[in-house]
Amino acid sequence: MSLSRWTPHVTASAVIEHDGRYLLVEEQTVDGLRLNNPSGHLEPGESPLDAVVREALEETARPFEPTHVVGLYLSRFERPARGVDVTYLRVAFAGRVGDAVTGRPLDTGIERTLWMTLDELRACPERHRSEMVLRCVEDHAAGLRYPLALFSVVGALGPAGASVSR
């Protein structure tokens, strides 16, 4: 029996819509320049809600206020060049952003932010980081909304005495 354990990568994503356009990031990846929702991996001690607020700010230079959960997405793919089988669990949040913070740089690898309509995003699937990018936006456009209370933090996430959102 193997002692190793399979674990998915857990990410949090922001689905941000304003006047029929969605805020996306254009980022450098191993596959070249790709479009993504502002997203990133959970860090130790973070809840998905904490992570999406942090990641949206880092990648867009805009403060993000989550209002709803759009959905939970499980995606598996293989990277043949590396011989790696990867699984992601994405938690997508809808919400609002404030104005860009003057002088705040975008996270490493993020080339720019851009606002795109759903039709514009549908027209360029070859530019998407993953199939989850369009799926999250389509689900948001279809009106999928779940309360933030969908998530509960049970027990301490962070170091002893650290404050974590619940």
pLDDT range class, residue 155, cuts 50, 70, 90: confident
Q: Which residue has the higher pLDDT, 165 or 11?
A: 11
Check: pTM over 0.75? Answer yes or no.
Answer: yes
Q: What CATH number does the domain containing 53 carry?
A: 3.90.79.10
Q: Is residue 48 included in any domain, yes or no?
A: yes
- In tens, the pLDDT along 34-86 reads 999 999 999 998 999 999 999 999 999 999 999 999 999 999 877 666 667 78
- pLDDT value for 80: 64
Residue 128 lies in a domain: yes
List the domain range (segments joined by +) for residue 46: 9-149
Whether 3 is covered by a domain: the verdict is no
Q: Please indicate, yes or no, if residue 125 is contained in any of the structural domains.
A: yes
Q: CB neighbours of 98 closer than 8 A, spacing ≥ 6?
A: 62, 63, 65
Mean per-residue pLDDT, 85-109: 95
Higher-confidence residue of 144 and 8: namely 144
Q: Which amino acid is at 2?
A: S
Reduced DSSP (H G I as helix, E B as strand, rest coil) percent helix, strand, coil of the chain, to 5: 20, 40, 40
Domain assignment of residue 156, yes or no: no
In a domain, 164, yes or no: no
Domains identified in the chain, total number: 1
